[in-house]
Amino acid sequence: MEIITVKEGEYHITSDKARLDLHAIHDYLSKESYWAQNIPFDTVQKSISGALCFGVFHENKQVGFARVITDGAVFGYLADVYILTPYRGKGLSKFLMRTILAHPDLQGLRRMLLVTSDAHGLYRQFGFTEVPNPEKFMQRHNPDPYTKKE
């Protein structure tokens, strides 16, 4: 996958996995996200290795993240999108979405999906819509995979 870096003001976004702060990503996902509470570090590490990732940086501090699971030809799934709370309201989510959707490896995909509980307004601005005929979609879902069962 092609590595890109895009700068806007005092922020930049890169798809260079070597620049990602895995501990910061794990910290946010495991403690602050509503979708990956208690996710183990090794699971985060594995999920990043298998995806096209985007780190949002202010100077050298990582302040946001997103990843796309894709075959690079017809399908992509946008996941784990976040901007740290102190950096919200600065247009970084929109900067992140513009950067993701412009990435050369994501051009021409037939479908890109995501799941969100609270950011429909953001994603609609970038062409995402509700899934027509949701009854055609199926899933195999484990709602709590990161909590150890005793």
Query: pLDDT tens across 79-117, in order?
Result: 999 999 999 999 999 999 999 999 999 999 999 999 999
- Whether the pLDDT of residue 64 is over 80: the answer is yes
Q: Are strands 11-14 and 5-8 parallel, antiparallel or unpaired?
A: antiparallel
What single-letter amino acid sits at 129?
T
Each residue's pLDDT tens digit, 74-84: 999 999 999 99
Q: Is the pLDDT of residue 61 over 80?
A: yes
In this prediction, residues 37-64 reach a mean pLDDT of 97
Q: Does residue 150 carry a pLDDT above 60?
A: no
- Its sign, for the CA torsion 111, 113, 55, 142, is negative
d(CA 4, CA 122): 23
**Mean pLDDT score, 25-39:** 96
**What's the pLDDT at 144?**
83
Domain 5-132 has CATH 3.40.630.30: yes
**pLDDT reported for residue 149:** 56
Task: Answer whether residue 49 shows pLDDT above 60.
Answer: yes
Q: How many CB atoms lie within 10 A of CB 125?
A: 12
This prediction has a pTM of 0.94
pLDDT band at 23 (very low <50, low <70, confident <90, very high): very high
